[in-house]
Amino acid sequence: MGECDRALLRLATVASDMLFTVKVSCLSVLALTCLPLSSRAADVPPPVTATELVPPTIDVDDADDADDDDDETIDSGEGESRDATPGLDPGVVYSSDVTDNELAKRFVTDLASLGSMSIGFADEGRLINAMQMPAGTAWTVVMPSHAWGTRETIDALMSSAKAVQARFPGAAPLRINHISQKDGGYVRPHKSHQSGRDADLGFYYDAEAGPTNIRDRRPVMDAALNWALLRELVTRADVQVVLVDRRIGTFLHDYALSIGEDPAWLYSLFVGPKPLIQHARRHRDHFHVRFFAPRSQELGRRVQPLLAKRPDTNMMIYRVRSGDTLGHIASRYNSSVEAIKRANRMKTSFLSIARSLVVPLRGPCTRCPLPPPVVVPAKRLPPEQSAEVLAAQPTRS
């Protein structure tokens, strides 16, 4: 037998042994599953308990640092359109005072009388008849040109800031950053803030703290003021979600627990199953609050078939995809490059993937994203005994 033949024989032997092992293993499994429970109980490991499913302790700060540093994209938590799911249509609920015929007439002849309207989604939307955040003693508007929203959003921000100031008269005013632009649409660098329902709110800081422009804001944050703001928002306003860094969330959760807030209620707010306060990357220095604006959203949904009746409102929102050009988009939707650039305040024709563009239309829109009917859920209120907790919370003169 030659050397080559011996090598082939050894290879065949190894393959045969491996095949035999696999067959034996499969037969063993089949035999075990065919045994009665009493016969195999000793051989089967006990079920895993809920405690054993808890992941090992990790350094949250280190994990979040890596999370922030490794991802250069806009935070995915700001998206809304991709998470939208169709539900039951309750009919006209929040704008029932306006009939369909009256809506069609007033949309053409008296648009301003309809009030604010939120069109589309938070990340694929725009505004009609937006309301600007006014000046006030309880808040500071950082950029007035980016402080337009639905009436519901502006009212909620004003009432929440006033409530915190009433409880803490000596507190600094709440810093209100970006909401939306007057007509909505894309606001750099945000993925959302397009339909007047998102607001970035700065933290309240300890008046005696040092510099606040540090990476970890917890040491200089005023826990009492920030918790008072969060509590006011989630119990008084129609809040859809609050996005903030998880370390800030944990910090405020622990503070609320220390002053006697109900643990089960806090769990529903911060943990789940659908927490109202959620982690988002790059939200170390502010709260991103998204509100329900029921009347504005419902009116925005109802007027979408009417947009073609007014050239100044006949637009759609388009999300830029790989390979797109302004010429391609204009041709597809019967628009023009110059009209698109003008509507989006663009100085060049450069496009970035995932950016939302306002596309002026020359006819009815057959591809505009239509949000599902808006249904505002019940507020997540603490138990009644928490009224005593609230009364016992610290105040300042």
What residues have CB less than 8 Å from 140, skipping those under 6 apart? 173, 174, 175, 176
Would you say residue 85 has pLDDT above 80? Answer: no
Give the lowest-confidence range in 9-13, 94-98, 129-133: 9-13
Return the SS3 of 159: helix
The whole-chain average pLDDT of the chain stands at 80
Separation CA 227–CA 207 (nearest Å): 16
Question: Once rounded to an integer, what is the mean pLDDT over residues 157-186?
Answer: 95
Structure confidence at residue 89 (pLDDT): 77
Give 226-285 pLDDT, tens digit per residue: 999 999 999 999 999 999 999 999 999 999 999 999 999 999 999 989 999 999 988 999
Q: Buried b vs exposed e over 319-348: b needs ≥16 C-beta within 10 Å? A: ebeeebebeebbeebebbbebbbebbebee
Mean pLDDT of 25-46: 38
pTM summary value:
0.73
Residue 3 has pLDDT above 80, yes or no: no
Q: For 50-209, where are the alpha helices, taking DSSP H only?
A: 60-70, 100-109, 151-167
Identify the weakest region by mean pLDDT among 103-107, 155-159, 180-184, 232-236.
Answer: 180-184
Lowest pLDDT segment from 41-45, 101-105, 151-155, 199-203: 41-45
Mean pLDDT of all residues in 54-76: 42
What is the reported pLDDT for 176? 98
Question: Does domain 74-296+375-392 bear CATH number 3.30.1380.10?
Answer: yes
Predicted pLDDT of residue 82: 58
Where are any strands of DSSP class E within the chain?
117-120, 125-128, 131-132, 139-141, 148-149, 174-176, 198-202, 239-244, 277-279, 286-291, 315-319, 356-360
Report the distance separating Cα 166 and Cα 147, nearest Å.
23
Give the confidence band of 73 by pLDDT, cuts at 50, 70, 90.
Answer: very low
Q: What's the pLDDT score for residue 366? A: 64
